[in-house]
Chains A and B, each alone.
Chain A
Amino acid sequence: MKNSSYGEVVNESIKKKSGSKRSFDNPRNAPYIFLMPALIFFLLFTGYPIVYSFILSLQQSEGNVTTFAGLDNYIRLFQDPIFYESLSNTLIILVLQVPIMLFFALILAVLMNSTMLKAKGFFRVAYFSPAVASLVSAAVIFLLLLNPDYGLINYLLSFIGIDKIGWLNHPVWAKISIVLVMIWRWTGYNMVILLAGMQNISNDLYEAARIDGAGKVRQFFSITIPQLKPVILFTAIVSTIGTLQLFDEPYNLTGGGPVNATTTITMYLYQNAFEYFDFEYASAIAYVVVVLIALLSFIQFKLAGDDE
C-alpha cells in the first residue's frame, strides 16, 4: 500500500464502486446519466422538429391527404410578392438596427469603462433595465408614446418645431418605430457584454501605448477595437439572429401594417401556420430563415477575419 500512488487509490475505489450494487453510477457512465435528460428533451423538442420541419416543407396537404410535393412550396415562395416584401422589411430593419445599436452599445461600454466615472453600478443598471421587460410590455408602452395624435414623443417634438409624425401608420415611420423600440430594448444588453469583453483586455497594452504617446482615440482604435473583435462578432451574430426572428414588436406595435410594411418573415410564417393553417408552406419559410441566418453568420465570420 505504501507504494501505491494517488491515482491507483482512485482507480481502486472506482473499481470497488463499479463492482458494487449501483454499477451504473460510476465515472464512466456518469456523464451519460447527467446528460441524458437534457439530451432527451433536446432531441424531442429541437432535433426532431428541425428534421420534421424540413420534411414538412417538402409536402403539401389538401384536407386530410398529405402528398410529397418536392420543391413546390419553395417555388411558390419565390413567386410570392408578400414573401419578398416581408424579406425586404426584415433586411431593412436589420441593416438599420444592428449597426446603430452596436455603435451605441460600444460607446456606452467605453463610457462605462471610463476611470472618470463614479456610480458605475447605477448607470449600468439604468442602461441595462430595458432588457428586463418583455417585448410585449415594451411594445405596449411605446404604443402610448408613439401615438401620432396624443403621444408624448410627438408632443415633445412639437417644441422643436417638428410636425406630427405618423409613427405607427406610415410605411417608413412604422419601420423606424420598430427599430427605435429594438434599440431601446437591446443597447444596454449588448453594452454589458461589450463591457465584460473590455475588462478582459490587459491594462499593460494601454500603458505601453500611453508611453508611446498614443492618445485616447488612438488607443481605442489600435487596442480596444482589435482586442474586442471576437466579442463584437459575437454580439453582431446574436443581434442578427435576433432581428431575423423579429416577431413580438411588429405583432404588438403595428400588427404587420400599414399594408404589410412591417410584416417580418417570422410574422408571415406565423400567419401562414396559425391563421391559414398552411403548416407546409410555413415550414418552407422557416427553412429560408435557417439558410439566411447560416449565410449571414458565415459572412460575418469572414468579415471578422482570421478568428476561429
Chain B
Amino acid sequence: MRVSGLQKTLFYTVLILLVILTIGPYYWMLVGATNPTGNMLNTPPSFIPGDYFLENLRSLLSQIDIWRSLFNSAVTAVSFTFISGIICAAAGFAFAKYQFKGRNIIFALFLLSMMVPYQALVVPQFQLFASFNLLNSYTAIILPQIAYPFAIFLMRQNMQSIPTALIEAARIDGSSETGIFFKIVLPTMIPAIAAVSIFLFTHQWNNFLWPLITITTQDMYTLPVALATLAGLETVDYGVLMMGAAISVLPIFIAFLFLQRYFIAGIIGGSVKE
C-alpha cells in the first residue's frame, strides 16, 4: 500500500506529541529537582534543568532520611522478589507439569482471589501482624503478598512449555523431583523467571497502602511512604519534593530502560513481536 508523505508526517507528529505527553512529566520532575522552587513558581517557569541539584538534595535530607528509605525499599523489594519468585515458580511448576487431586480447584481459588480488593484484606492482615508483634518490620512489609496469584499464573503459563520428555529423562537418570525443579526447571526457565521477577520487584518497590499502614516509625519508611509524608507537609517545597520523586523513580526507570523487553514480557506473560 502506498502512503503519502503528508500522511506519514501527520502519523509521526501525532506519535511524537504523545511521547511528549507521556515522558513530559518525568522531564518536569528533573527540571523541578534541579531548580530552586522559586524558578518553578515563576511565570514563565524555568524549562531547562538548573544547577540547584545539591541544594535541593541537602534540604531534602534535612527533612527526611531519604537514603535510609532507599535502603529500606531496596531490601524489602529484593527479598520480596527472591522469596516470592521461588515460591511462585514452584507453585507454577506444580500446576503446569503435574496431575494431582484438587489441582483445578486450587488454581481457580488463586485466580478468583485476584478479584478481591486488597483493601478488604488489610484490616485482618494488620491485626494478624499486630498479634505476632511484627508491625513496623521488614517481615511485615514483605510477607502478605509473597504468594502472588498473578505471578503464579504467569509462571504456570511459561512452565507449560517445558518438554515433559526432559523431566522424564531426568527421572530415569535417578533425579529426585526437587532435584528436577532446582537443576532443570529453574535453569531452563531463567528468561521467564527474570520477566516475572522484574514485575514482582516493581510491584513491591511501588507498593504504598500496606507499607503506609504497617510502618509506624520514620526509620522504616519505604520511598513511597517517605515521599507521601513530604507531600503532606503544611508548606510544600516543590524543588525538594521533585528531588524526592526523582530518587524514587530514577532507579526503577533506568532499570526499565535496560530490561524493558523482559519487563513487558513479565506483564503480558509472553512476547510482543518487534
Question: Interface residues, chain A, CB within 8 Å of chain B?
Answer: 9-10, 13-14, 17, 22, 25-35, 37-42, 44-50, 52-53, 56, 108, 111, 114, 116-117, 120-121, 123-130, 132-145, 147, 149-150, 152, 155, 184, 188-189, 192-193, 195-196, 199, 241, 244-245, 247-248, 251-252, 255, 266, 269-270, 273-274, 279, 282-283, 286-287, 289-290, 293-294, 297
B252 touches A294 (CB 8 A): no
* Interface residue? B236 (CB, 8 A): yes
Contacts A/B (CB < 8 Å), 20 sampled:
A22-B176, A26-B177, A33-B177, A37-B147, A42-B109, A45-B128, A45-B145, A49-B123, A50-B116, A50-B120, A123-B15, A129-B23, A139-B231, A141-B242, A152-B45, A189-B267, A193-B267, A245-B119, A286-B119, A293-B115
Q: A132-B249, A143-B231, A266-B119 are in contact. List 6 more A-B contacts (CB 8 A).
A: A10-B168, A53-B120, A126-B18, A127-B18, A139-B231, A184-B21
The secondary-structure label for the interface of chain B is helix
User: Which residues 1-41 of B sit at the A interface, judged by CB distance below 8 A?
Assistant: 3, 8, 11, 14-15, 18-19, 21-23, 25-26, 28-29, 32, 40-41
B264 close to chain A: CB less than 8 A: yes
Instruction: Find out whether the CB atom of A45 lies under 8 angstroms from the CB atom of B121.
Output: yes
Are the C-beta atoms of A270 and B209 separated by less than 8 Å? yes
Chain B interface residue count, CB cutoff 8 Å, equals 100
Could you mark each residue 79-110 of chain B with 1 if its beta carbon is under 8 Å from any beta carbon of chain A, else 0? 00000000110110111001010010010011
Counting chain B CB atoms within 10 Å of each CB, the highest count among A123, A128, A152 belongs to A152
Pick from B106, B118, B124, B264: contact of A124, CB below 8 A: B264
Check A127–B267 contact: CB distance below 8 A: no
Contacts A25-B176, A127-B18, A144-B242; A289 near B224 (Cβ below 8 A): no
CB–CB B124/A49 < 8 A: yes
Contact B115 A270 (CB under 8 A): no
Nearest CB to that of A55 among chain B residues?
B124
What are the residues of chain A within 8 A of B29 when measuring CB–CB? 137, 141
Query: Judging by beta carbons under 8 Å apart, are B268 and A196 in contact?
Result: yes
Question: Within 8 Å of chain A (Cβ to Cβ): is B184?
Answer: no
Neighbouring B residues of A293 by C-beta, 8 Å:
115-117
Query: Shortest distance in angstroms between B229's beta carbon and chain A's nearest beta carbon?
Result: 10
Please state if B124 and A31 are interface contacts (CB–CB under 8 Å). no
Is residue B223 contacting chain A, with contact meaning CB distance below 8 A?
yes
Chain B, residues 231-274, CB within 8 Å of chain A (1/0): the string is: 11000101001101100110011001100100110011010111
Contact of A35 with B15 in the complex, beta carbons under 8 Å: no
Contacts A10-B172, A120-B274, A124-B264; A134 near B223 (Cβ below 8 A): yes
Contact assessment for B32 and A144 in the assembled complex, using a CB-CB cutoff below 8 Å: yes
Tell yes or no: B59 within 8 A of A by CB.
no
- B107 CB to closest chain A CB (Å) equals 10
Q: A282 to B123, Cβ gap below 8 A?
A: yes
Bound form: Cα–Cα A69–B25 in Å: 49
Set of chain A residues within 8 Å of B18, measured between Cβ atoms: 108, 126-127
In this complex, what residue of B is CB-closest to A29? B177
Q: Which of A132, A199, A290 has the most CB of B within 10 A?
A: A132
Top 5 A-B residue pairs of the complex, sorted by shortest distance between their CB atoms: A134-B206, A30-B177, A49-B124, A286-B120, A31-B98
